[in-house]
């Protein structure tokens, strides 16, 4: 993906999800969301304009509600602290 297209995609993701959602992610959630968003743009042949807001929100919810829900992150952090 060209740099200008990548920046356009990053801006779109930031506009859709907002600062708080993006900056309150745990490291695992952030990595997983990055993977999901990369898969999403690849599925759209790197054409940012064809990616919908709902698709971006869906990938965010997939990560934060199903793959690495906040409860999992809290429990993981407790276990890591106790070891």
Flag residues of the chain having pLDDT under 50: none
How far is residue 76's CA from residue 80's CA, in Å, rounded to a whole number? 6
Count how many residues are written for the chain.
83
Closest CA to 12 of 54, 43, 45, 42: 54
Neighbours of 77 (CB within 10 A): 11
Q: Whole-model pTM?
A: 0.89
> How confident is the model over 31-46, as pLDDT tens digits?
999 999 999 999 999 9
Q: What is the mean pLDDT of the chain?
A: 94
pLDDT of 74 reads: 84
How far is residue 73's CA from residue 9's CA, in Å, rounded to a whole number? 27
Domains of the chain by residue range: 3-82
């Amino acid at each position: 993906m060209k740099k200008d297209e990548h920046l356009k995609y990053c801006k779109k993701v930031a506009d859709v999800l907002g600062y708080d959602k993006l900056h309150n992610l745990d490291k695992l959630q952030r990595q997983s969301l990055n993977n999901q968003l990369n898969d999403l743009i690849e599925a759209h042949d790197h054409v940012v304009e064809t990616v919908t807001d709902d698709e971006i929100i869906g990938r965010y919810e997939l990560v934060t509600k199903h793959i690495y829900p906040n409860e999992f992150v809290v429990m993981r952090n407790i276990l890591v602290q106790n070891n």
